[in-house]
Amino acid sequence: MTRASAQPETPGQLLTRYMGLKGLKTTRQRNLILDAFLEVEGHVSVDDLLAEVRAADPHVSAATVYRTMKLLTECGLARAQQFGDGQTRFERAAGRDHHDHLLCTRCGAIEEFEDPRIEALQAEVARARGYELSSHRMDLYGLCRSCRRVERKAPGAPRSL
């Protein structure tokens, strides 16, 4: 915290600023949850996060994680995603562009991608039908490279998602 000036705002600073604006308070739990969220790569469920947070403090409750993730989502640090498995998953959002997902139906891997050509066509489709497009979601399901290799030798379905 000693270096000067024009660094981009850190997630912690963003959250603090947002909370200031809303009259919310900084708490140990919120910090723990933010840290856990930033530390874990990928698409985490509340359960995942709770486990992570409880490693640091076993007393943190699930309700607090839900509440805090809602907060992080509101202030733009997190983005909530619904894949078909019944739980909400969160991914980092700060400073990251929109993207879509490629999901492996066997190992559960989730990859992100972005394709401006598809986005353009989506906009065109919406326009052609009189819609004013505000957002979209696109998930592609299939077998990832390594699961294809495995599947060729030993067909089966080790994991659901």
Partner DNA sequence: GTGATTCTGAGAACGATTCTCATTTTCCGG
Partner DNA sequence: CCGGAAAATGAGAATCGTTCTCAGAATCAC
* Residue from 3, 25, 145, 152 in contact with DNA (CB under 7 A): 25
**72/78 Cα distance (integer angstroms):** 5
Partner interacting with residue 64 (select from DNA, a copy of itself, none; CB below 5-8 Å by kind): DNA
Query: Which 45-84 positions form the footprint of a copy of itself (CB under 8 A)?
Result: 82, 84
Report the nearest approach of a copy of itself to the CB of residue 161 (Å): 12
Q: Rule CB under 8 A: is residue 20 a binding residue for a copy of itself?
A: no
Q: Which residues contact 125 (CB under 8 A, 6 or more apart)?
A: none
Q: What is the largest CA-CA distance in the chain?
A: 58
Report the nearest approach of a copy of itself to the CB of residue 65 (Å): 20
23-31 own/partner pairs: CB under 8 Å, 24+ apart: 24/71, 28/57, 29/53, 29/57, 29/60, 29/64, 29/68, 30/68, 30/71
Strand pairing category for 100-104 and 44-45: unpaired
Report the nearest approach of DNA to the CB of residue 99 (Å): 21
Piece of the chain touching a copy of itself by CB under 8 A; list 43-51, 52-60, 67-75, 118-126: 118-126
**8/126 Cα distance (integer angstroms):** 35
Partner interacting with residue 144 (select from a copy of itself, DNA, none; CB below 5-8 Å by kind): a copy of itself
Q: Rule CB under 7 A: is residue 21 a binding residue for DNA?
A: no
Q: Per DSSP, what are the bridge partners of residue 92?
A: 78
* Residue from 2, 7, 134, 160 in contact with a copy of itself (CB under 8 A): 134
- Continuous segment of H or E residues that includes residue 45: strand 44-45
Query: Which 41-80 positions form the footprint of DNA (CB under 7 A)?
Result: 45-47, 57, 59-64, 66-68, 70
Query: What DSSP state is assigned to residue 74?
Result: H
**Contact footprint for DNA (CB under 7 A):** 19-20, 23-30, 45-47, 57, 59-64, 66-68, 70, 86-88
